[in-house]
C-alpha cells in the first residue's frame, strides 16, 4: 500500500511538464505554473511529517519520504510549507516516481529544471533547497544499490 499517493510520475511526467512550461516565456508565468503544480501535490498527512523526514538546508520546511515497491522501484512522497518549493518537489517527483534506484542515480535531475527555464531563475536559497532535495533523493537511491 502506498503511504502517500500523488499524480506525479504517473499522470504527470516529464513530457507533460515540458508541454506545460513550453509556452511560458516569462519568469512570472513559470512561477505561476510552479504554484499550480504545488496545488496538485496532495498535502502529506501530519503523521508522515516526521522529524526524520524533514530536510535540512531548505528555506521552508520540507519533508521527503520514500518506500520501496515490491517490484524494486521507489515511491517518493513529500511536502513543503512553501508553494514554490512544493512545485519544485512536484517536478522532482515526476522524474523519479516508479524508477529503480539504478535509474534514479543515472538521472541528471537538474537538467529538467534547466530545460523548463526554472533553475536559473531561482533565488540562492531556493537553489540551495533544490540541491538539498536532489542530494537526498540520490542518497536514498544509493541505499538500495
Active site residues: 58
Quick one: three-class SS letters along 100-140? CHHHHHHCCHHHHHHHCCCHHHCCHHHHHHHHHHHHHHHHH
CA pair distance 44, 46, nearest whole angstrom: 6
Closest CA to 6 of 40, 48, 36, 29: 40
CA pair distance 16, 70, nearest whole angstrom: 27
In degrees rounded to 5, what are phi and psi of residue 41? Answer: -90, 110
CA pair distance 10, 31, nearest whole angstrom: 23
Amino acid at each position: 500500500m502506498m503511504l502517500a499517493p500523488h499524480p506525479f510520475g504517473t499522470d504527470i511526467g516529464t513530457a507533460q511538464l515540458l508541454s506545460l512550461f513550453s509556452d511560458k516565456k516569462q519568469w512570472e508565468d513559470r512561477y505561476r505554473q510552479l504554484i499550480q503544480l504545488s496545488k496538485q501535490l496532495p498535502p502529506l498527512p501530519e503523521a508522515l511529517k516526521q522529524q526524520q523526514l524533514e530536510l535540512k538546508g531548505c528555506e521552508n520546511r520540507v519533508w521527503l519520504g520514500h518506500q520501496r515497491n515490491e517490484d524494486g522501484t521507489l515511491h517518493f512522497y513529500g511536502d513543503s510549507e512553501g508553494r514554490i518549493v512544493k512545485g519544485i518537489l512536484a517536478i522532482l517527483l515526476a522524474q523519479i516516481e516508479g524508477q529503480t534506484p539504478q535509474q534514479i542515480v543515472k538521472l541528471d535531475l537538474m537538467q529538467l529544471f534547466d530545460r523548463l527555464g526554472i533553475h536559473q531563475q531561482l533565488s540562492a536559497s531556493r537553489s540551495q533547497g533544490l540541491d538539498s532535495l536532489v542530494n537526498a533523493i540520490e542518497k536514498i537511491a544509493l541505499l538500495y544499490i
